[in-house]
Structure 1
Amino acid sequence: MTKSTTTTKRTKGRKRIAILITSAVLVAAGSGAAFAYWTSTGNGAGTASSGTNVPFTVTTTAATGTALAPGGTGSQTVAFTVTNPGTGNQILSNVAASVATSTNGTWTIATGAGCSAADYTVGTPTITYGQIAPGASISGTVTISMKNLSSNQDACKGASVPIYLAAS
């Protein structure tokens, strides 16, 4: 081999190495800078559904105590239960009791002078107010007595007096 052939081979080898190194550097440098992109913004909307409240269910048991008579000489206690029939917790904050029909209408017995809610006193319900879990109940009681009015109350003898309870 001649000196010029050795020099040519050496030069070609160096050129190849230089090309490989340059190519590697360009690929490495270009891979980070070769990206292009658009910027954008966007919006979206979705919905979720909330449950609704379900009216409490109020049930009563038969009254206990002595027969009602003018002047409050007898009183009766009615036990009741307030139930949450809904699927979420609900707060019981009030129970109101009155002498009224099952639809909260005016109650009277129209015989003679008549007998009405005005002949009776309904006490304040006794119950612990608060949160009621779904399907759970809270129990309470309320008392009823008969007023001693200056008018004839004979129409109230033997009356079945309805108690209306409203829970909220």
Structure 2
Amino acid sequence: MAKVAGRKKRIIGTTVALVAIGGGAAFAYWTAAGTGSATTKADTSKSFTITSEITGEPLSPGGPEQLVSFTVTNPGTGVQTANKVDVRVANSDGTTWTSEKGCTAGDFAVGTPDFTATSIQPSEGATGTVTLRMVNLNENQDRCKGATVPLYFSAS
């Protein structure tokens, strides 16, 4: 039993020594700090595309009006809002139109477009209509016979 008691003392003594050594051990480390950032670029708005279809009788001075249906399409990747659509007789670049025979935009009247301001999803469209008629100027308007009358649309 004396051997057992001596052995127990050695185990206890060794354990106490190890705890004392371990408890007093030093740990080394580095301190650090850091920052970070990221950037991205927002897309820009894309110009709306506008397509149209005209129905009705051919135009004539004081004659019936034609109905022009149009669609404003959003080709962008995000939602874009179309507040209004303007339509006028003009060249495809918006400049003043005159036919080869002298027919002008003044020979025609474009109504107020029926279009409701709306947010348009990507690759989707919003529709509207407008009327077009030939004005009776109480003069010879033969210069407009057979003229191809261009309409210019702008959406904003």
1:149 maps to 2:137: yes
Check 1:15–1:80 CA distance in 2 against 1; reply closer, same or farther (3 A cut).
same
Q: How does 1:107-118 map to 2 (within 5 A)?
A: 107-111=97-101, 114-118=102-106
Counterpart Cα distance in 1 of 2:92 and 2:11: 103
What residue is the counterpart of 1:81 in the other structure? 71
Q: Deviations over 1:66-89 (max 9, x none)?
A: 44333x442111111122222222
SS at 2:13's partner residue?
A: helix
Runs of 4+ in 1 over 6 A off after TM superposition: none
SS at 2:16's partner residue?
A: helix
SS at 1:109's partner residue?
A: coil
What residue is the counterpart of 1:69 in the other structure? 60
What residue is the counterpart of 2:150 in the other structure? 162
Note the C-alpha offset of 1:97: 0.4
Counterpart Cα distance in 2 of 1:151 and 1:37: 98
Higher helix share: 1
TM-score under structure 1 length normalisation: 0.74
| Aligned pairs, number | 155
Check 1:126–1:16 CA distance in 2 against 1; reply closer, same or farther (3 A cut).
same
What residue is the counterpart of 1:101 in the other structure? 91
State the identity as a percent.
45
Counterpart Cα distance in 2 of 1:132 and 1:118: 33
SS at 1:135's partner residue?
A: coil
Give the AA of the match of 1:50.
A
Check 1:89–1:26 CA distance in 2 against 1; reply closer, same or farther (3 A cut).
same
Note the C-alpha offset of 1:22: 3.7
8 A contact 2:115–2:129 mirrored in 1: yes
Tell me which structure has the larger Cα radius of gyration.
Answer: 1
Which structure 1 residue ranges, 5 or more long, are not aligned?
A: 1-5
Note the C-alpha offset of 1:43: 2.4
